[in-house]
């Protein structure tokens, strides 16, 4: 076993789906997130937009936190989610905004 702390994927899935954990860690958060085509900030904005539009609250929570740590400000996220309300649906935007509010008030 490694001395490193388990990744979020490993925490969620343990040994249940080792290949999905590997792909998540190595490909998605390894290769894709390291691609220089987008900055981490921009990649976070795109990801938050997609997760909001698709109403994926479980994943959105951690990605909102990551977006804040990647340099997006609360006001930028509020503006992006408000814009998404018109294209992704009001309920999706309201859910995302509620999550952002809770995170930024912690």
* pLDDT (tens digit per residue) in 6-50: 888 888 888 899 999 999 999 998 899 889 999 999 999 999 999
Q: How far is the CA of 77 from the CAs of 42, 49, 52, in angstroms?
A: 12, 9, 11
As to burial, measured by CB atoms within 10 angstroms (0-12 exposed, 13-18 middle, 19+ buried), residue 66 is middle
Q: Homologous superfamily of 38-106 in CATH?
A: AhpD-like (1.20.1290.10)
- Predicted local confidence at residue 26, as pLDDT: 92
Other Cβ atoms closer than 10 A to 75: 8
Evaluate whether 99 touches 60 at the Cβ level (below 8 Å).
yes
Beta-carbon contacts of residue 13 (< 8 Å; ≥ 6 apart): 20, 21
- Distance of alpha carbon 81 from alpha carbon 75, whole angstroms: 10
Residues of the chain with CATH 1.20.1290.10: 38-106
Q: With cut-offs at 50, 70 and 90, classify the pLDDT of residue 1.
A: very low
Residue 2 reports pLDDT greater than 60: no
Give the pTM: 0.86
């Amino acid at each position: 076993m490694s001395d490193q702390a388990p990744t979020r994927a490993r925490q969620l899935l343990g040994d249940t789906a080792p290949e999905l954990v590997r792909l998540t860690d190595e490909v998605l958060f390894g290769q894709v997130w390291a691609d220089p085509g987008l900055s981490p900030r921009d990649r976070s904005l795109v990801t938050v937009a997609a997760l909001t539009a698709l109403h994926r609250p479980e994943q959105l929570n951690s990605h909102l936190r990551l977006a804040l740590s990647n340099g997006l400000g609360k006001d930028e996220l509020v503006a992006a989610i408000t814009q998404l309300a018109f294209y992704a649906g009001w309920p999706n935007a309201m859910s995302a905004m509620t999550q952002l509010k809770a995170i930024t008030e912690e």
